[in-house]
Amino acid sequence: MHTGACRSSARGFRQGGRPCIGLRRKLLDEQGRSKGILQSGQWKSIKSDRVVLCPGPPDEIELVKFIFKRFVKDRRSEGAIARELRVRDALVRERYWSEDIIRYLLQNENYIGTNVYNRQSNKLKGGQVRNPPSEWIRRENAFAPIIEKAVFEEAQRRFRDRRERWGLSNEEMLKRLRILRHRSGGLSKRIIDKAEDVPSATLYQMRFGSLREAYRLIDYIGIRDCEYIVSRSRRRNMIKEIVMKVAIALAKSGIEARLDQVHQILRVHGIAISFRVARSWLDGEPTHSPTWTIRRGQKLPPGLIVVIRLNETNEEIRDYLLMKASDFVGTRVRFGEEGWERFGARRFASVYAIIEVIKRRLGHIERLAKCVDACARA
């Protein structure tokens, strides 16, 4: 599958989910004729069809050009551009602009018509790996650009100049990080980026692999729970396994389920089934009971949520909860030992018990739909 995706990408066809702002996915048939623009969440359904990128709405294109102008011509930093857009109350896909989003946008080769694939890979549940540029799959002039190549190259030149300006040795970078730690009393990405005499947090990530590794080398333990970051890949794989179990069980019962592989959402009879992991937290007092947190995430459509609750060590599955997405208010839900009941959730000891409940609900909906259809025909 990976080899096929690389081969298709080398021909200029899009692999993956929705593109960056200012771009859209266009569906082509086997003769290369356009079949229209794919909206968010839509996927091709015919094997011979292909997807390419194309320019998006004019207002988004103008916004992208504005960002490049601010960075290249006006010499503004990514953080300054993000703050300016936040002041204008500009939103990007329901998220406020951040420095990282601006930096990613300014380095996205899609804006000059180049299709890029295989920058990262995740094979056979082995965890996500960043591939070297020599392994990237590039196809230039794959689609119409929205940014002039000279402007894009000037932006990349500014990134290179900035990195060269901080051509410090690893020892010197760590020395400055230690001084900043003692001066500020702690470290964070925001603190590092604000310091004038210290390289950016991004440069530390590139040089040492992650900020967490740089912290380890100076014997600094951050307040943030780093275990959450370390186990992120394991939780993603856990969700994928549960989603596949549910999809296979429904398919064996004759219920067709469509899988959104990007957001791990099952859609059955017009109902979306989302999956979340609830991690355990302790406030530092050994006598206190743990609490569990469910994060909403960027994509939570109306429907049902299957919650995978972990045990106190966050290493094994404790039980499962089933709740309605409409009962999820805010960016996260937090509850104690039995607090999940106030969110209208039901508890199950196994995923197969949840599958049976989902089957009954879907069967009820299907019978109701047939009844409405019969009444309409009558």
Check residue 18 and give its pLDDT.
Answer: 75
pLDDT at 66 over 90: yes
**Residues 361, 366, 372: CA angle, nearest 5 degrees:** 125
In DSSP terms, 272 is beta-bridged to 267, 303
pLDDT at 225 over 50: no
Q: Could you tell me which residues come within 8 angstroms of residue 51 by beta carbon, excluding any fewer than 6 positions away?
A: 13, 14, 25, 26, 27, 28, 38, 44
> How far apart are the C-alpha atoms of 298 and 176, rounded to whole Å?
36
Q: What is the mean pLDDT of residues 344-359?
A: 87
Identify the weakest region by mean pLDDT among 110-119, 159-168, 247-256, 319-328.
159-168
Q: What is the mean pLDDT of residues 31-51?
A: 76
The whole-chain average pLDDT of the chain stands at 80
106 SS3 class: helix
Check residue 153 and give its pLDDT.
Answer: 93
359 SS3 class: helix
CATH topology for 2-157?
Hect, E3 ligase catalytic domain fold (3.90.1750)
Check residue 67 and give its pLDDT.
Answer: 93
pLDDT at 283 over 60: no
Every domain of the chain and the residues it spans? 2-157, 168-224, 233-373
Highest mean pLDDT among 82-86, 99-103, 176-180, 280-284: 176-180
DSSP state of 350: S
18 SS3 class: coil
Listed in sequence order, the DSSP H helices in the chain are 2-10, 58-72, 78-87, 99-106, 149-165, 170-184, 189-194, 201-208, 211-217, 226-230, 232-252, 351-377
pLDDT at 68 over 90: yes
pLDDT at 284 over 50: no
Check residue 212 and give its pLDDT.
Answer: 80
CATH topology for 233-373?
Trna Endonuclease; Chain: A, domain 1 (3.40.1350)
Nearest to 314 by CA among 338, 347, 290: 290
pLDDT at 115 over 90: no
pLDDT at 178 over 70: yes
pLDDT at 257 over 50: yes
In the chain the first and final C-alpha atoms are separated, in Å, by 49
Q: Is the dihedral of CA 143, 144, 147, 148 positive or negative?
A: positive
pLDDT at 298 over 50: yes
DSSP state of 88: T
User: Considering the chain, what percentage of its residues have pLDDT values greater than 90?
Assistant: 13
Check residue 222 and give its pLDDT.
Answer: 64
pLDDT at 205 over 50: yes
Check residue 344 and give its pLDDT.
Answer: 83
pTM, two decimals, is 0.49
In DSSP terms, 26 is beta-bridged to 37, 52
pLDDT at 286 over 70: no
pLDDT at 372 over 70: no
Q: What is the mean pLDDT of residues 34-51?
A: 76
pLDDT at 166 over 70: no
pLDDT in tens, 119-150: 777 766 666 777 787 778 888 888 889 999 99
For tokens 């296979």, name the residue: 248
Highest mean pLDDT among 14-23, 63-72, 252-261: 63-72
